[in-house]
Structure 1
Amino acid sequence: MRLRLGRPRLTDYDHLLDVPPAAEHSPFAVTFLGVSTLLLDDGTSALLTDGFFSRPGLLRVAAGKIEPDQTRIGTALARAGIDRLDAVLPVHTHFDHALDAAVVAESTGAVLVGGESTANIGRGHGLQPGRIDVVAPGEPRTYGNWQITHVVSDHCPPDRYPGTIDAPVVPPVRTTAYRCGEAWSILVAHTSGRRLLIQGSAGFVRGSLAGHQADVAWLGIGQLGVQSERYIRDYWAETVRTVGARHVVLTHWDDFFGPLPDDHAGLRALPYAGDDLDVTVRLLDELAAADGVSLHLPRLWQREDPWQLDLPATEPGATR
Structure 2
Amino acid sequence: MLDNHSYDRRRFLRDAAIGAAAVSAGGLAAGAPAQAAPATAAPVAAAPVAAATGRRSGAVSFRWWGTSGWRIDIGDRTVLVDPYLSRYDTGLFKGAFREDTPLEVATDVIDPLVDRAENILVTHTHWDHFNDVPYLAGRTGARVFGTLTAHHLGLAYGLPAGQLVPVKGGEVLDFGTYTVEVVSSLHSRNKSWSVAFPGVRHSQPPKPVTIADLPEGDTLAYQIRVAGGPAVFFMGASDLNERNLAGLAPDVAMVASAATTSTADYVPRLMAALDYPKVVVPVHWDNFETPLTNPPVVEKTDRERLEDLITAVQRVSPRSRVLVPEYHTAYHF
TM tier relative to shorter chain: 0.7 to 0.9
2:151 aligned residue: 119
What's the CA shift for 1:148? Answer: 0.9
Residues 1:285 and 2:325 aligned together? no
Residues 1:268 and 2:268 aligned together? no
2:327 aligned residue: 300
Task: Give distance in 2, aligned partners of 1:22 and 1:114.
Answer: 33
Q: How has the CA–CA distance of structure 1 residues 9 and 228 changed in structure 2, closer, same or farther, with 3 Å as cutoff?
A: farther
Task: Give distance in 1, aligned partners of 2:197 and 2:173.
Answer: 28
| Cα deviations by residue, 1:268-305 (Å, 9 ceiling, x for unpaired) | 1144289732322222232332xx11111112111111
Residues 1:76 and 2:89 aligned together? no
Amino acid in the other structure paired with 2:120: V
TM-score scaled by length of structure 2: 0.77
Residues 1:185 and 2:221 aligned together? yes
TM-score scaled by length of structure 1: 0.79
Tell which deviates more after alignment, 52-61 or 107-116: 52-61
Q: How has the CA–CA distance of structure 1 residues 44 and 14 changed in structure 2, closer, same or farther, with 3 Å as cutoff?
A: closer
Task: Give distance in 2, aligned partners of 1:221 and 1:23.
Answer: 27
Contact 2:232 2:252 in 1 (8 A): yes
2:76 aligned residue: 44
Q: How has the CA–CA distance of structure 1 residues 143 and 209 changed in structure 2, closer, same or farther, with 3 Å as cutoff?
A: same
Task: Give distance in 2, aligned partners of 1:22 and 1:178.
Answer: 39
1:231 aligned residue: 266
1:197 aligned residue: 233
The counterpart of 1:139, out of the listed 166, 171, 179, is 171
Q: How has the CA–CA distance of structure 1 residues 147 and 274 changed in structure 2, closer, same or farther, with 3 Å as cutoff?
A: same
Q: How has the CA–CA distance of structure 1 residues 63 and 157 changed in structure 2, closer, same or farther, with 3 Å as cutoff?
A: closer
Contact 1:8 1:278 in 2 (8 A): no
Amino acid in the other structure paired with 2:269: D
Task: Give distance in 2, aligned partners of 1:180 and 1:9.
Answer: 29
Q: How has the CA–CA distance of structure 1 residues 143 and 101 changed in structure 2, closer, same or farther, with 3 Å as cutoff?
A: farther
Amino acid in the other structure paired with 1:62: R
For these two proteins, the number of residue pairs brought into alignment is: 287
Gaps of 5+ in 1: 1-5, 307-320
Q: Percent of aligned pairs with the same residue?
A: 22
The counterpart of 2:141, out of the listed 89, 106, 109, is 109
CA RMSD of aligned residues (A): 2.9
Contact 1:198 1:218 in 2 (8 A): yes
Task: Give distance in 1, aligned partners of 2:300 and 2:289.
Answer: 11
What's the CA shift for 1:142? Answer: 2.8
Larger helix proportion, structure 1 or 2?
1
Give the secondary structure class of the aligned counterpart of 2:138. helix
Amino acid in the other structure paired with 2:189: P
What's the CA shift for 1:113? Answer: 0.7
1:309 aligned residue: none
What's the CA shift for 1:183? Answer: 0.9
Residues 1:85 and 2:117 aligned together? yes
1:62 aligned residue: 98
Q: How has the CA–CA distance of structure 1 residues 237 and 197 changed in structure 2, closer, same or farther, with 3 Å as cutoff?
A: same
What's the CA shift for 1:95? Answer: 1.0
Contact 1:66 1:171 in 2 (8 A): no
| Cα deviations by residue, 1:233-281 (Å, 9 ceiling, x for unpaired) | 223333x33xx421111111111123322xx21x211442897323222
Task: Give distance in 1, aligned partners of 2:44 and 2:284.
Answer: 20
Output aligned runs, 1:158-177, within 5 Å.
158=190, 159-177=195-213
Q: How has the CA–CA distance of structure 1 residues 195 and 228 changed in structure 2, closer, same or farther, with 3 Å as cutoff?
A: closer
The counterpart of 1:34, out of the listed 49, 66, 86, is 66
